[in-house]
Amino acid sequence: MDDQKKTSRKRRGTLARAEAYFIAHVGEILENKTLRDAVGGTSDSWTRRVRELREKLGYKIRTHLDRPDLKPGQYMLEDLHRVPVVARSINKKLRAFILERNGYTCGSCGIGAGDVHEDGRPARLQIGHVIDASHGGTSDPSNLRALCSLCNEGSSNISPARQSQSQLLAALRRAKPDDQQVAFEWLKKKLGK
């Protein structure tokens, strides 16, 4: 067996062990060291496997960046529901097109790229399906939209609730002139002349 084949077989082994370990400990806070002991491999290789579980297989593995109750070096597989992975079929150009078309805001809760969620976490925009792939949705631009990571991963219960029109207008009336100006500029840009 050549070296490349050996490496790839080893990689799949680590990935499968990491997957099985997270599934067996769903909902538990797992320490960096515990995981490394259970999964094996160098710490560099298994952090890459964790990333693959998240990004390629769609497992909701959380870190301190996602949940305020986790400390750096802790992980948690939140539940066994996997997020449909769109990224594979969407190239950079299409991603940029969708973000631009959607004004760099989440199509569900309206948070902007660079804004912070109520709990202080920065909003990360992802590309999500309008109609889920499991229900026949395609990766055609018409079926894609920008979504923040919270909305995309179905955690909309912890994202800001959609405001009613009157609440929104009230908030704007109460806002400082500076902030009203920002809102005005944003609306002008969004709605055209």
Contacts (Cβ under 8 Å, ≥6 apart) of 130: 137, 142, 143, 144, 145
Asked if 108 is part of the footprint of Zn ion (rule: CB under 5 A), the reply reads yes
Binding piece for Zn ion, criterion CB under 5 A, among 10-18, 91-99, 114-122, 150-158: 150-158
- Of the candidate residues 106, 125, 127, 144, the single one contacting Zn ion (CB under 5 A): 106
Task: Kindly state the smallest distance separating residue 153's Cβ from Zn ion, in Å.
Answer: 10
Nearer to Zn ion, 76 or 148 (CB): 148
Q: Does 146 bind Zn ion (CB under 5 A)?
A: no
Handedness of CA 150, 153, 139, 8 (dihedral sign): positive
- Minimum CB–partner distance for residue 95 and Zn ion (Å): 17
Where does 33-157 show beta strands of DSSP type E?
61-62, 74-77, 125-129, 144-148
Please give the size of the binding site for Zn ion, defined by CB under 5 A: 6
3-state secondary structure of 80: coil
Nearer to Zn ion (CB atom), residue 35 or residue 125: 125
Q: Are 111 and 117 in contact (CB under 8 A)?
A: yes
* Residues found near Zn ion in the complex (CB under 5 A): 106, 108-109, 148, 151, 159
